[in-house]
Structure formats: structure tokens, C-alpha cells
């Protein structure tokens, strides 16, 4: 039977004459941090102090024990970052140049000093660029010249920390006669029966041995002989329970086991969990263009999505528990789709296991982003090898519903001046429209493939045409007011977003001792977007008087503006289902403490946007939309039940006087949207009035003027501690009340974000992680952490 021995202990990191203990899996930066050689690059401006690390060569070493008792001994690396030589007692075992692949070396009968020598990723990238020629990119760092996590070279939300190291586990595998080299599971559903076809490949040490494989799933067992090095096992499971996305049903998972046999003696075992479901991508032409609608088990979905970046710039630090916590935060916000963005990595099994269990659909980009990628060797062979490995590795996961060729590269070719600069040089089109769809069609025909995001489906339309396929909406953040989201109805919005700084406690930890200001040195260093602060300011000034010299107010208002901007987009686009079939917010998470588009900051704290997503992505959403015919009340019902009820409309003054009321009936069928015209006499007149719509515990608000023009009364409210939190009772209109719980204690979390109260209304805000000190007035402390619109209290 194959035996595996982890090689996690006993490693050292050497550079020149210096030797340090090394953690494996890990990377050079984390080892240097542990040893106290470098400062924490996440704090202050220390990122710049460690830039030298990515420019050096590094060597990991340990003793490799000589073992016997088996015919074959393999040294297996699940991940090496990135360009390395592997030597045993000075003899070369092999070379690597791809972070996204695993590697296997025959060390039968060998032992001695094992060394993994990493060449600087910069040196490799610059050598490839010198050989193949310059290619344009959105950023100046040379990330497109090697197969490595692109965002380790920095991004408009990420630090430049170019890593090296043994970033995934390494082990010795000992086996005799044969081992399982690859299992490719094709899982389908037909007439209520689950069909599983296991395409098996084996590696032999004895060619003459008669081999068989036996598989079990759902109480069904099947057997097949191995012909040479290949075999196929087919199983048919009756009455399977379907795997559904969260909100549509349950997520039953089936254990599948395949055993390789020789004379009925087990040689190796492959185990996974699978789920039975069907997935299609409806891209048919219609009266509005060409769609992009996910269909799971025959059910058409509006995808409530978020973009996912690596949760740490040092991915080896991301534990199973951290993946689960972050993805649980996503599901708690109503998310049902996570797009693994192309400037990152193929995530670990822990990520996809959690998505399987939580019912999160996974859209998987191949790792290409925002650059023209050469298609010549040595890159071309690496691209196909990594694609083949990872397609097969991730196939068992029912959560995986889409393979996507790249992020923004087809768009970049057309709009970012690449076409002229490239002339006839290769730039990646052959990957996205050739290599990758061929690999997916050959290995995983059960899932759809898209050439890129954005992509209109062909060169007949502009790559980012909102009427065709996927659309990225970045002109709004870059140049316009967020009201411009309502100007069109894309078929699927795969990226859009608005920036805000991280939580207060996150800033205080990341910028110790700094007097915080929007343009203070540390804040500027932790703002990586081009003119990011300028865009934040212009975005604020369209709605608010800019709070010069008041950082606390700036911090609050930028958080409010982020939540309102994303709400403007999602409410509009959801109200146009089924023409628009999904929104994927940029972005769920951060990889360090930074001002960014994330809903959850780099320390894992939820911004107000996160809590707003819980409302926006709920099965039922009530929204007021301005249409050509006037103000429209829209009931969005993504639940499986008909939503019928009465909506109470109140036209009110900001002083709290009810000017007019009406009750209107609304009925939205299952998975549908219903519109009701608001009576003209209830439409607010000028900045002193607003409209409130209430139904079944849901509320929609419409203020017809920007906040800077609204004569808010001085907010008055009472605060009282209650078990597990505080209660706030309004005596006036209190708009966008926010408890920044982390100001009370860095460990504190509030269970809600922005809330608007009418006079006489109250809300209970749950707070965990905060206990007032014995001499502390809890109500006064909580009041100090509460912010809202209107003149200062």
C-alpha cells in the first residue's frame, strides 16, 4: 500500500552564510518575520523596507532520509514558488518554473542533503522578457512573464511582496507495483440517477502485473480492469439527492472511494467527496442581446456574487479555519457565488471543500490578469500543464460551476492600447480561445467555459459590451457618480465596486502612532489605487460637504458612500432580472490592511458594506427606483414562494411629519420581480422630503436630493445598554446610524451596519466582544462610537 511521509520538519533557510529555521509550508518572508530579520510589511510603510527580499535567491535545505521496503520512492512537492532547482547531495533532480503546479521526483534508493534553490522571480521574469520581448500590462511589475501569483507583484489594493518558498506541503511517497497517478471524475445526473465515470491513470513499477480498480459511492460498487496504464469505472446511483446552491436547497455530498488492486491486494486509494447536480450557462441570443445566466438543476439563477482575492499576500498562512470563517461570512451576507479572480491562485482543497458544504457556487478564473501574456516557450507548456493538473484536481467539487479564461485581458487588448503596441506579438488570445477551452472540453466537459471576463462571446461585439455576456463596470468608480450605475442593464455584472478605508481598529493596528488623516503618510501608503484618494474625495463631494480636517467624519462618510454606491448598482440590476442575471461585487476580502473595495477588511472586520450586502442579497428585496414613468416600487423575490403583501408608503418631511400615505398591494411570483408605480402625490418634493416603503419587515427609502442639500435636523436619540448590545431610540430622523463597535474594543463586532430610524423607532444593535469596564458608563461609551447624518451632536 502506498505510504506517505510528510516532510514538514527540519528545514532551514539559507542565504549566503546565514541559516534560519524554516517552516514548510511557508515562504521566505514568513521565515524572516519569525526570525525577526525583517519588520512586519503590513505595518506603517515597512513594505518598502523588505523589497530586497524578492530580489534575492534563497535556498531551503534538510536531510532526506534514505528509506527502503518499496520498489519506488517519490519526492512530491504540492507547490513550489516559483523558479527552483531541486538537488540531492548536489545532484540535480529537476527544475521548476510554475507556482501553480505540483512536482514529483524519483528518489528511489537515495538519501542525503536535499536543497531547493529558489531564483528571484524578478530575475526569471526579466530573463523571459529579454528573450520574448516586452508585453504591455496594467502595472509596471513583470508578472506576466512567469507562472506565479500575479498580485504578489502588487495591485491597486495589494502590496508588492514578491515571495519565494515551499508554499504547499512536501512528502515522500513509497509504493510498489503501481500507484494511482490521476483520477478524473465525470459526475452527471440523468433521470434522477447519478452517473459517475472515473477515468483512472496509473503509474507502474511492474509492467506485467494484472491490475484492477474498484469504486464505491452511495452504496453502489463497481469494478474495472486496468488496460496498460488506464481504466474506466462507471457507477449509476439511483435516487440521488441533488446538490443545490445555498438558498435553493440542501448540499448533500457523497463519499467516493477508488482502490487500486493487484491480486485483490490494495495498492493505493483515492478518496473524494462529490455532489450530484447539473450546471449550464445560458448564453443564447434574445431581444436584449446575449445572456449569461447560470442554470443549476434546471433552475435559472440571479447570481449574488463576490470576487475573491487571495486572503493573504502570503497564501501559505491561510488555514482551513480561516477559509471557512471568510466563506461563512460570505454566506451570512447572502452570497451564493464566489469568483476566484485571475490574478491570484488556484485555491487549496480547503477552500473548495468549504464552498461545497456551504452551497457557494465557484467561478474559477485561470490565473491570467490585466496583462498581455506571451504564448511562446517556456510559458506555453507551463500553461497547458498547470491547466490540465488543476482542472482534474478541482473536478470533484460540485461547487465549481465555471472555468473562465482570464481577467480583463481580452478587454485590455481592445481598449488599453495593447493592439497597436503588440503589432503581431502573441498576447494570450491563443490561451483563452485555444489551449484552455480545448483542455476543459477534453478533461471536464461537464462544466461550461468562458474565454474571459469581461467577454461578449466573440469579437463581433466589444469585449465589454453590456448587452452581451459579462461586463465590468469601472467607469463609474473612476469618473462618475454612482447614480450612473442606473444608466444601463448589463446581462451580467462580473465586477463593479467602490472604495472605503478599513475599520478603525484595523487602521490603528496597521499605522501605530500615526496621526490619522486621509493624506497622512501611512494612509497614503495603504492606498494603492491610482488617484484613489482623489476618487474618494470626488465621490464624497457629489453627496456631502467634504469634512476638511475631520478624519473621523471622513472615515464614516467614505464607509457610507461605499455602501450606498454598491446598493445603487445591485438594487437597479436586481430589479431588472431576468435581463440582468447576476452581480459580482468587487471585492469580498483583502490580503492586508488597505483602503480598498473590500466588504471585509484585511483584519477580517466587516465594513458597513458587508452588512448592506445582507440586505441587498436577501431572497426578498424592496427598492424604490426612478424610471422614465416616475418613481417605481419594485419587489424582488428570489425565494421559491410567491410574495404577496401590502406595502405601506409614507411621504415624510425630514422633521418627521407624515405628508401623505398609501397602501399598495404587490405580488411577486417565485424567482421574479414585480413593479408598482408610486402614486404621483406621494413622490417627495425637494430636499426636505423623502419616501418610505415598508412591507414584511423590509424597508426602502428614497431621498430625491444629495445629503449636502438636505436640511437634516440635529439627530436626537437615546442609548441604553441591553443584554448582548445596545438599544437606540430615535427622537428625530436618524439617517444611516452606524455603531463602530471596534472603537469600543478592537475585538468588538456589531451585528448590523447602517440603519435609518424614523422618529419614535428603535433598534437593538447586538455587540459581541465588548464588556464595559466596571467604572464605564456603557451608554456613554456606545454613544461615542455612534455616527449618523446631520449636524454634529
Residues acting as catalytic residues: 408
Parallel, antiparallel or unpaired: strands 58-64 and 112-118: antiparallel
Q: Are 466 and 457 in contact (CB under 8 A)?
A: no
Reported as half-sphere exposure (CB side, CA atoms, 13 A), residue 76 has a value of 15
**Closest of 468, 471, 378, 374 to residue 426, by C-alpha:** 374
Reported as half-sphere exposure (CB side, CA atoms, 13 A), residue 201 has a value of 6
Query: Which residue in this structure is represented by grid cell 461585487?
Result: 585
Cis peptide before 587 (omega within 30 of 0): yes
Q: Are 2 and 271 in contact (CB under 8 A)?
A: no
494 CB neighbour count, 10 Å cutoff: 30
Q: Where are the beta strands (DSSP E) in 723-785?
A: 725-730, 734-739, 749-750, 755-757, 762-768
Query: Which residue in this structure is represented by grid cell 455587540?
Result: 767
Reported as half-sphere exposure (CB side, CA atoms, 13 A), residue 278 has a value of 15
- Write the Ramachandran bin of 430: left for phi over 0, alpha for psi from -120 to 50, otherwise beta: alpha
Q: Are 233 and 213 in contact (CB under 8 A)?
A: yes
Spell out the residues 6+ positions from residue 778 whose beta carbon is closer than 8 angstroms to its own: 721, 726, 772
Q: Are 2 and 268 in contact (CB under 8 A)?
A: yes
Q: Are 281 and 294 in contact (CB under 8 A)?
A: yes
Parallel, antiparallel or unpaired: strands 230-237 and 193-204: antiparallel
**Closest of 285, 311, 280, 309 to residue 296, by C-alpha:** 280
Parallel, antiparallel or unpaired: strands 103-106 and 265-274: unpaired
Q: Are 392 and 184 in contact (CB under 8 A)?
A: yes
The dihedral built from the CA positions of residue 563, 569, 570 and 575, taken in this order, carries a sign that is: positive
Spell out the residues 6+ positions from residue 629 whose beta carbon is closer than 8 angstroms to its own: 677
Spell out the residues 6+ positions from residue 572 whose beta carbon is closer than 8 angstroms to its own: 485, 486, 489, 625
Q: Are 498 and 562 in contact (CB under 8 A)?
A: yes
Angle, helices 532-541/551-574, rounded to nearest 10 degrees: 80
Give the total residue count for the chain. 793
Amino acid at each position: 500500500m502506498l505510504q506517505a511521509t510528510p516532510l514538514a520538519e527540519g528545514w532551514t533557510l539559507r542565504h549566503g552564510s546565514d541559516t534560519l529555521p524554516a517552516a514548510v509550508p511557508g515562504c521566505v518572508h514568513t521565515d524572516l518575520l519569525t526570525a525577526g530579520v525583517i519588520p512586519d510589511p503590513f505595518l506603517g510603510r515597512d513594505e518598502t523596507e523588505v523589497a530586497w527580499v524578492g530580489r534575492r535567491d534563497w535556498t531551503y535545505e534538510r536531510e532526506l532520509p534514505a528509506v527502503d521496503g518499496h520498489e519506488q520512492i517519490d519526492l512530491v512537492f504540492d507547490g513550489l514558488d516559483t523558479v527552483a532547482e531541486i538537488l540531492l547531495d548536489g545532484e540535480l533532480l529537476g527544475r521548476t518554473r510554475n507556482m501553480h503546479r505540483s512536482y514529483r521526483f524519483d528518489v528511489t534508493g537515495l538519501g542525503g542533503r536535499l536543497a531547493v534553490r529558489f531564483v528571484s522571480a524578478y530575475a526569471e521574469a526579466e530573463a523571459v522578457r529579454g528573450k520574448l520581448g516586452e508585453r504591455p500590462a496594467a502595472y509596471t511589475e513583470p508578472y506576466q512573464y512567469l507562472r506565479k501569483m500575479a498580485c504578489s507583484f502588487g495591485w491597486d489594493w495589494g502590496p508588492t511582496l514578491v515571495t519565494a518558498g515551499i508554499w504547499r506541503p512536501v512528502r515522500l511517497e513509497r509504493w510498489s507495483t503501481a500507484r494511482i497517478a490521476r483520477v478524473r471524475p465525470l459526475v452527471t445526473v440523468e433521470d434522477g440517477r447519478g452517473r459517475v465515470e472515473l477515468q483512472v491513470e496509473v503509474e507502474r513499477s511492474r509492467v506485467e502485473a494484472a491490475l484492477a480498480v474498484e469504486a464505491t459511492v452511495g452504496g453502489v460498487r463497481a469494478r474495472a480492469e486496468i488496460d496498460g496504464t488506464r481504466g474506466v469505472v462507471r457507477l449509476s446511483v439511483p435516487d440521488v439527492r441533488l446538490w443545490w446552491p445555498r438558498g435553493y436547497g440542501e448540499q448533500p455530498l457523497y463519499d467516493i472511494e477508488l482502490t487500486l488492486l493487484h491480486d485483490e491486494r490494495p495498492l493505493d486509494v483515492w478518496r473524494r467527496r462529490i455532489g450530484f447536480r447539473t450546471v449550464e450557462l445560458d448564453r443564447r441570443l434574445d431581444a436584449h442581446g446575449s445572456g449569461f445566466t447560470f442554470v443549476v438543476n434546471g433552475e435559472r439563477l440571479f447570481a449574488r456574487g463576490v470576487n475573491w482575492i487571495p486572503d493573504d499576500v502570503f497564501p501559505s498562512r491561510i488555514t482551513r479555519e480561516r477559509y471557512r470563517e471568510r466563506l461563512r461570512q460570505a454566506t451570512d451576507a447572502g452570497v451564493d457565488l464566489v469568483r476566484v479572480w485571475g490574478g491570484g491562485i488556484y485555491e487549496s482543497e480547503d477552500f473548495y471543500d468549504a464552498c461545497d458544504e456551504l452551497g457557494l457556487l465557484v467561478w474559477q478564473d485561470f490565473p491570467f490578469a490585466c496583462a498581455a501574456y506571451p504564448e511562446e516557450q517556456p510559458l506555453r507548456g507551463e500553461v497547458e500543464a498547470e491547466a490540465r493538473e488543476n482542472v482534474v484536481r478541482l473536478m470533484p467539487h460540485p461547487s465549481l460551476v465555471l472555468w473562465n479564461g482570464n481577467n480583463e485581458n481580452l478587454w485590455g487588448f481592445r481598449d488599453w492600447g495593447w493592439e497597436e503596441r503588440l503589432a503581431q506579438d502573441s498576447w494570450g488570445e491563443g490561451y483563452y480561445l485555444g489551449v484552455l477551452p480545448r483542455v476543459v472540453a477534453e478533461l471536464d466537459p461537464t462544466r461550461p467555459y468562458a474565454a474571459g471576463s469581461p467577454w461578449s462571446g466573440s469579437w463581433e461585439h466589444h469585449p465589454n459590451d453590456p448587452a452581451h455576456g459579462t461586463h465590468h463596470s469601472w467607469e463609474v468608480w473612476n469618473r462618475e457618480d454612482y447614480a450612473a450605475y442606473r444608466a444601463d442593464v448589463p446581462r451580467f455584472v462580473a465586477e463593479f465596486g467602490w472604495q472605503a478605508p478599513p475599520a478603525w481598529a484595523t487602521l490603528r493596528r496597521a499605522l501605530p502612532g500615526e496621526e490619522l488623516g486621509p493624506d497622512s503618510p501611512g494612509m497614503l501608503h495603504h492606498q494603492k489605487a491610482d488617484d484613489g484618494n482623489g476618487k474618494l474625495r470626488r465621490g464624497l463631494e457629489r453627496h456631502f460637504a467634504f469634512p476638511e480636517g475631520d478624519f473621523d467624519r471622513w472615515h464614516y462618510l467614505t464607509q457610507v458612500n461605499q455602501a450606498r454606491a454598491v446598493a445603487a448598482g445591485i438594487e437597479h440590476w436586481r430589479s431588472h432580472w431576468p435581463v440582468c442575471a447576476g452581480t459580482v461585487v468587487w471585492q469580498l476580502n483583502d490580503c492586508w490592511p488597505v483602503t480598498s473595495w473590500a466588504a471585509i477588511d484585511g483584519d477580517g472586520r466587516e465594513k458597513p458594506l458587508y452588512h448592506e450586502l445582507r440586505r441587498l442579497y436577501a431572497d426578498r428585496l424592496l427598492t424604490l427606483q426612478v424610471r422614465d414613468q416616475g418613481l417605481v416600487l419594485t419587489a424582488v423575490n428570489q425565494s421559491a414562494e410567491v410574495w404577496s403583501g401590502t406595502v405601506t408608503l409614507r411621504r415624510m418631511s425630514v422633521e418627521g411629519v407624515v405628508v401623505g400615505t398609501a397602501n399598495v398591494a404587490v405580488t411577486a411570483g417565485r424567482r421574479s420581480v414585480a413593479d408598482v408605480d408610486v402614486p404621483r402625490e406621494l413622490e417627495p418634493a425637494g430636499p426636505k422630503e423623502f419616501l418610505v416603503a415598508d412591507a414584511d419587515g423590509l424597508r426602502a427609502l428614497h431621498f430625491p436630493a444629495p445629503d449636502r442639500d438636505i436640511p437634516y435636523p440635529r439627530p436626537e436619540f437615546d442609548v441604553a445598554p441591553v443584554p448582548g448590545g445596545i438599544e437606540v431610540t430615535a427622537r428625530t430622523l436618524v439617517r444611516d446610524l452606524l455603531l463602530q463597535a471596534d472603537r469600543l474594543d478592537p475585538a468588538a463586532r456589531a451585528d448590523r451596519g447602517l440603519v435609518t430610524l424614523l422618529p419614535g423607532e428603535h433598534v437593538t444593535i447586538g455587540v459581541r466582544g465588548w464588556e464595559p469596564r466596571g467604572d464605564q458608563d456603557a451608554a456613554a461609551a456606545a454613544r461615542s462610537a455612534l455616527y449618523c447624518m446631520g449636524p454634529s451632536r
